Structure 1
Amino acid sequence: MRTITAGLFISLDGVIEDPQDWHFPYFDDDMGEAVGAQLGSADTLLLGRATYDSFAGAWPEREAAGGEDAVFAKQLGDARKIVVSHQDLEFSWRNSEQLQGDLLEAVAELKRQPGATSIAMSGSPSVVRQLLAAGLLDELHLFVHPIVVRKGAKLFDEGEAAIPLRLVSSKSFSSGVMHLVYTSAEPAAAAGYDEAKTHLPG
């Protein structure tokens, strides 16, 4: 069974929209290494349509330009790219295809297919929310930036049920960014103030 990992740039107030407007000052060697490990090393990418369009509009040109980011661009180009969309799509970026059928059923089947690496996601918040709620997302990588953006869409919208998570690892970058990795967890035991006060000092 393959695992699915998702990586998102996020501000302290939970904003994920338009990270290109606020996150580049924090992109350093630490983040480059972490993003490369989570995204660049994957042989399969699962992307929402908006994220795919952004990637397809930039990375093929960067690969062709042969600059210092060409190696990473080629890794993305060589990967199998599966796009989630309700519309019929046509692709010009190599190794791209559309996910067919119901999202959750198709992703569950995708996880059962053989592969050498985890299936990686970047951005694609709507897809991330659905997979997380369904228990199909194995790791959520949040790159928490030390900035309060104060406007824009947030990762988690309002919903009926809480989604308990467990912290797998945390790392602080010299830029002040925190790389937090979460996985699914069982709901916490019921508790109130009477249980919590036993942990107060004194």
Structure 2
Amino acid sequence: MGEIHIELFTTLDLVGQAPGGPDEDPENFDFGGWQQPLVDEVSGAQFGAAYVGTDALLLGRRTYDIFAAYWPHREGGQDDDIATLFNRVPKYVASRGPLHPAWNNSTRVGADLAADVAAIRRRHENVKVVGSLDLVRTLVRDRLFDRLDLWLHPILLGSGKKLFDGGVLPSILTLLAPPEASPSGIVLLRYGLADGVPTTGDMGGR
């Protein structure tokens, strides 16, 4: 049985909207492209390493449209390794409508997301969810993921779509590796979804 790994970039106040560019998701948001000034050599290498072994992508519709217009034209360029990977592997897209442009190896899913995620797990070993904040929020809310790689960036925006808007099921996460920090202050946290629900206690009893 394969795993669903979420790769997510957020600010310290957990805004995940439009990290990549001003046109990515401009709805009620003035900070599109907030990630780029903070990326350094260390965090850039982390981003690339995160996709080693990936054999499928699970994407939201907005991210799919951005990727479909960009990655097919990037092979042979600076981002060749990622471009080759993204163009080659199957893409599963949570969407209510047809896929235009029709990026090769793309399949629309989402009528029953839980059943579709289970089927994708049966077909693949290492499925990456990239960007796709609306989809990520659904996967987190319904516990339809196995690992969350969270890159926290040292800025506060005070506006924008946040990771946990819309609620979640009470869950326990396990830290899978020590946190890794880059020179610019980006901190990578790798969490796995654990069984059970949070418990409570009384610090005054210590």
Normalised to the residue count of structure 2, the TM-score between the two structures is 0.84
Alpha carbons 1:12, 1:147 under 8 Å: kept: yes
Kindly state the Cα deviation for residue 179 of structure 1 after the two structures are TM-superposed.
Answer: 0.3
Match of 2:16 in 1: 16
Kindly state the Cα deviation for residue 127 of structure 1 after the two structures are TM-superposed.
Answer: 1.9
Match of 2:189 in 1: 180
Give, in whole Å, the separation in 2 of the partners of 1:160 and 1:118.
24
Kindly state the Cα deviation for residue 34 of structure 1 after the two structures are TM-superposed.
Answer: 2.2
Kindly state the Cα deviation for residue 92 of structure 1 after the two structures are TM-superposed.
Answer: 3.0
Kindly state the Cα deviation for residue 198 of structure 1 after the two structures are TM-superposed.
Answer: 4.2
Kindly state the Cα deviation for residue 12 of structure 1 after the two structures are TM-superposed.
Answer: 0.7
Higher mean alpha-carbon deviation, 180-189 vs 73-82, is at 180-189
- The CA RMSD over aligned residues, in Å, is 1.9
Match of 1:126 in 2: 134
- Unaligned segments of structure 1, at least 5 residues: none
Identity level (%): 36
Give, in whole Å, the separation in 1 of the partners of 2:166 and 2:86.
33
Rate the CA distance shift 1:161–1:135 in 2: closer, same or farther, 3 A: closer
SS in 2 for 1:126: helix
Alpha carbons 1:5, 1:38 under 8 Å: kept: no
Structure with the greater alpha carbon radius of gyration: 1
Kindly state the Cα deviation for residue 40 of structure 1 after the two structures are TM-superposed.
Answer: 5.5
Give, in whole Å, the separation in 1 of the partners of 2:48 and 2:71.
14
Q: Give per-residue Cα distances to partners, 1:102-121, cap 9 Å, x unaligned.
A: 111111121122x3x41111
Match of 1:7 in 2: 7
The one-letter code of the counterpart of 1:82 is: Y
Alignment of 1:71-110 (within 5 A): 71-99=81-109, 101-110=111-120
Match of 2:165 in 1: 157
Normalised to the residue count of structure 1, the TM-score between the two structures is 0.85
Kindly state the Cα deviation for residue 68 of structure 1 after the two structures are TM-superposed.
Answer: 1.5
The one-letter code of the counterpart of 2:60 is: G
Tell me the matched-pair count. 192
Q: Give per-residue Cα distances to partners, 1:42-63, cap 9 Å, x unaligned.
A: 1200001011111112112222
Alpha carbons 2:170, 2:198 under 8 Å: kept: no
